[in-house]
């Protein structure tokens, strides 16, 4: 029976196939979504995600520098020169040619990469090289090293 009120007809059309599939798809996606965020089903946990992110942040936030941030920086080199004169020259000589301490202009037996040189200064070396970690701190060690490296590279400027 078909009713007719003011020309508004109610008809019983079949649901279009596309709409039907979309509906089923949404339902399946919903089940999948709920399951994948249910700890008992998938093992997912808010805590785990949080811990992973914190670990990642920590790894990024505290980089161990392996290269001198002040390399070729004239201001830092000037500061490093002053630091060298008061902390290093007594042993390594005014011209870095050595004395009690090793010659710093030639081959460095403990390594010539930035991180090795930093380590020599920060931690000290067994045959009489003191540790400067406490006294200077990381930043000034890099500066004094920038000076030492500028002399190694270009020779000493007046
Ligand atoms: C008390 C004397 C003394 C002072 C002060 C000193 N050094 Fe040394 N340094 C030495 C001696 C001795 C060695 C050699 C250590 C060894 O052979 O184990 C050395 C080694 C080094 C090395 C490693 C050399 C190599 O062959 O690998 C570097 C780099 C260095 N010193 C830089 C510095 C800097 C920069 C300063 C100033 C912040 C400084 N030193 C202050 C005595 C000193």
> Which tens digits make up the pLDDT trace of 34-86?
999 999 988 899 999 999 998 888 776 555 688 999 999 999 999 999 999 99
Residues 20 and 69: their CA atoms lie apart, in Å, by 62
Superfamily of domain 74-154: Cytochrome c-like domain (1.10.760.10)
Question: In the structure encoding, which two tokens stand for residue 78, read together?
Answer: 């000037």
| Ligand 1 site, residue 108, Cβ cutoff 6 A | yes
* Phi-psi domain of 21 (left: phi exceeds 0; alpha: psi -120 through 50; beta: other): alpha
Q: How confident is the model at residue 8 (pLDDT cuts 50, 70, 90)?
A: confident
Ligand 1 proximity of 78 Cβ (cutoff 6 Å): no
At 79, list the tokens. 């500061």
Confidence of residue 155 (pLDDT cuts 50, 70, 90): confident
> What residue segments make up the domains of the chain, in order of their start?
15-61, 74-154
Mutate to test the pocket of ligand 1, among 83, 101, 103, 130 (most ligand atoms within 8 A of CB): 101
Residue-level pLDDT at 152: 94
pLDDT-based confidence at residue 1 (cuts at 50, 70, 90) = low
Q: Whose CA is nearest to atom 25 of ligand 1?
A: 108
Contact 102, 92 (CB under 8 A): yes
Residue 38's contacts (CB-CB under 8 Å, 6 or more residues apart) are 44
Ligand 1 proximity of 93 Cβ (cutoff 6 Å): no
Residues 60-99: b if buried by 16+ CB within 10 A, e if exposed: eeeeeeeebebeebeebbebbbebbeebbeeebbeebeee
Please tell me the predicted confidence (pLDDT) of residue 2.
58
Cβ 91 under 6 angstroms from ligand 1? yes
- Write down the pLDDT at residue 71: 92
Ligand 1 neighbour 130 (Cβ under 6 A): yes
Pocket test for ligand 1, best of 91, 130, 131, 137 (most atoms within 8 A of CB): 91
What tens digit of pLDDT does each residue of 92-146 get? 999 999 999 999 999 999 999 999 999 999 999 999 999 999 999 999 999 999 9
Return the pLDDT at 60: 66
Q: Is the CB of 106 under 6 A from ligand 1?
A: no
Q: Who contacts 102 (Cβ-Cβ below 8 Å, separation ≥6)?
A: 92, 108, 109, 129
């Amino acid at each position: 029976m078909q009713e007719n009120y003011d020309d508004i007809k109610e008809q019983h059309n079949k649901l279009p196939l596309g709409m039907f599939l979309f509906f089923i798809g949404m339902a399946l996606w919903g089940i999948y979504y709920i399951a994948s965020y249910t700890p008992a089903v998938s093992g997912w946990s808010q805590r785990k995600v949080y811990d992973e992110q914190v670990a990642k942040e920590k790894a990024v936030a505290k980089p161990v520098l392996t290269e001198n941030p002040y390399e070729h920086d004239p201001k830092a080199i000037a500061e490093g020169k002053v630091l060298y004169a008061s902390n290093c020259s007594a042993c390594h000589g005014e011209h870095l040619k050595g004395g009690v301490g090793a010659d710093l202009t030639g081959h460095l037996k403990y390594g010539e990469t930035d991180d090795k040189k930093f380590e020599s200064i920060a931690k000290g070396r067994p045959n009489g090289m003191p540790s400067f970690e406490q006294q200077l701190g990381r930043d000034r060690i890099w500066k004094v090293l920038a000076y030492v490296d500028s002399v190694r590279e270009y020779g000493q400027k007046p």
